[in-house]
Amino acid sequence: MTRKAILIAALLLISYCSFAQQGEMLIYHPIKTDQAGNIVPWYNDDPAIAYDHNLHTIWNFWFNMRRDMNGLPYYMNHQVWNKNFDDPRGIGGDQFMMALSSWRLWYAYTGDENVKENMCFLAGYYLTHGLSPANCKWPNIPFPYNTYIYSGIYDGDMRNGKDVAQLDKAGSLGLELIHLYKIKADTMFLSAAVKIANTLAPHVRMGDNEHSPLPFKVNVFTGKVVLLNLTGKRYGNSKDTACYTSNLTPTLQMFLDLIELKTGNVKQYQTAADKIIAWINKYPAKTNKWGPFFEDVGEWSETQINAMTCARYMMEHSQYFPGWKTDVKNIINWVHTNFNDDRWKKYGVIVTKEQTVYPVPGESHCSRQAADELLYTSLTGDTSFYTNALRELNWATYSVDVDGKNCFPFDEPWLTDGYGDYVRHYLRAMATYPTLAPAEDHILASTSVVQQADYKGFFKKFIYLNFDKVDTNKVRLFYRTFDNDGTEEIRMKAKPSVVLLNDQPINEVAEGEGYSWAALANGGVLTVRRKAGNRVIVEE
């Protein structure tokens, strides 16, 4: 059953508006409020404690998920969790890429080596069981679906069947493979990313209001673009208009990362990147035509994920988007106009629906909207979205049960929305406002990729420490990054006494290489700025 069918069935069975009001329940938990009647997280009134608890619970559920009859973890075969039987649907189109995106941030936050190993398993298995053949017209790109659920092979598209790939998802995988290469130094991941980029780059066109620089779906063998069902479509009659998606910022960043690494056909990548940047600035950022993303929808649908993914990218890469402040605020307002859901307004919060053909709120979409609006607030000083964003994060905690399963309010436990496309948004919110992280030692953000993070009491591979110069009993955190030039933001329970960069002490300074400390009510935030080193030790 598709999401649209589920929605219709649900509308016949229940009144959405009375759900929370009658039972005072939201998904798995009774709604809790502060003294003013505004929603707070279910687990703890302190958001930092509540968010951290949810993320740990979610990861444990994912990591310990049962195996299917073909020996693979359940999430390798299905997009929806079911406790009592195996769901008959295959994976979500971006299921593995979303998980890789979240686990990269989660590893830096926790230092749990199991997270890195899970990333390697996901990527390694996908590369060996899910790519188009090297001799087809769209070679070496991932298929987004397993048409035979237990085959262990990914070979097509959920809606359009075998041999069909989604090009935006190929770019997302390429980007995550580059990140994984930077973590593990395994050239297999980099080589696979280069092959994906080499397939996509020659096909990138200038684009216009009816044509995105890359189409949404193609048959990898015939080379033909696969059209959506145009029922209800409101953008003209051109048959090519359905070959449109704005989810191209991961693909753009894949090209830019390979250029920075000086790997592959960098000239061709630069040409492709320039076309995508120009198109975003001229079209979707101005027209708010965002188009399709999801694998289980066969018709035109505007999606919040495309809009806000682009908005975050513009904020994080403002050098490419001179009008980003105006454009991002317009995108946020467009989302509010089209996807606001006020059914929990009595609890002081407006939440966010998924898309036009499935106008239902979900934990991933609400946490994304909240995290991105918090970033906008931080960058611009415009606080108009701040309060609701915090409450929307609180609202989305109710999707997580005590055992870590994660469910839509009126739907099912989707393994995309509840895991890969959920965890990263809370971690991004913590990076923007560190008070949302508990007063413990956690790397919240890095301009590089964190290769290794060892926290006190959990040291694992101290091969990079100079034992002659370092008293390991005093070390609270050791981490290593891919780049020698970068900045980390670290939530800490107390100010450190010494910070070492490549075994040498660095100074507490406001600018330039060194570190700074910002005290909070509990603990504070350590900012480390590196100019010529990638190994950092933080001592008590």
Question: How confident is the model at residue 24, as a pLDDT?
Answer: 85
- Sign, CA dihedral 250-234-356-345, equals positive
Place of tokens 């302190």: 46
Q: At residue 330, what is the residue type?
A: N
- What does the pLDDT look like over 266-301, one tens digit per residue? 999 999 999 999 999 999 999 999 999 998 888 889
Domain boundaries, the chain: 1-64+302-438, 91-300, 442-539
Q: How far is Cα 272 from Cα 251, in angstroms, rounded to an integer? A: 10
- What does the pLDDT look like over 140-196, one tens digit per residue? 999 999 999 999 999 999 999 999 999 999 999 999 999 999 999 999 999 999 999
Q: How far is CA 271 from CA 204, 249, 275, 319, in A?
A: 9, 15, 6, 17
- What does the pLDDT look like over 124-134, one tens digit per residue? 999 999 999 99
With b meaning 16 or more CB within 10 Å and e meaning fewer, what string describes 7-31? beeeeeeeeeeebbeeeeebbbbeb
- Which residues in the chain land under pLDDT 50? 1-23, 230-241
91-300 belongs to which CATH class?
A: mainly alpha
Please give the full DSSP string across 160-185, using - where no structure is assigned: TEETEEEHHHHHHHHHHHHHHHHHH-
Question: How confident is the model at residue 297, as a pLDDT?
Answer: 87
Question: How confident is the model at residue 447, as a pLDDT?
Answer: 98
